[in-house]
Amino acid sequence: MWTIEDIGTTAGLIWRLLNEHGPASVTVIERDVEAPKLLVHLGLGWLAREGKLVVEERKGRALLSVRG
């Protein structure tokens, strides 16, 4: 079972990835963040709830980035 700290840490990893490399798909984020898939999704939810995540549709796919 993951703790709230685990989710927050994963959110931080996701934020850093997007901040350094720009927009990415969920698939890329799942691949590049070293955490279980469900924990990555929980981290994305954390960022979305805090208003730090931007979701755009490009060519029929969702790209995620951090709010600047």
Whole-number pLDDT of residue 15 = 98
For the cut 90, the answer to whether the pLDDT of residue 22 exceeds it is yes
Residue 29 belongs to what domain range?
4-66
User: How many other CB atoms are found less than 10 A from the CB of residue 25?
Assistant: 13
Burial of 14 (0-12, 13-18, 19+ CB in 10 A): buried
pLDDT digits (tens, 9 = 90+) for 30-67: 999 999 999 999 999 999 999 999 999 988 999 999 99
Residues in the chain: 68
CATH number of the domain encompassing residue 37: 1.10.10.10
CA dihedral of 7, 10, 16, 22, whole degrees rounded to 10? -100
- Give pTM, 2 decimals: 0.94
Q: How many domains does the chain have?
A: 1
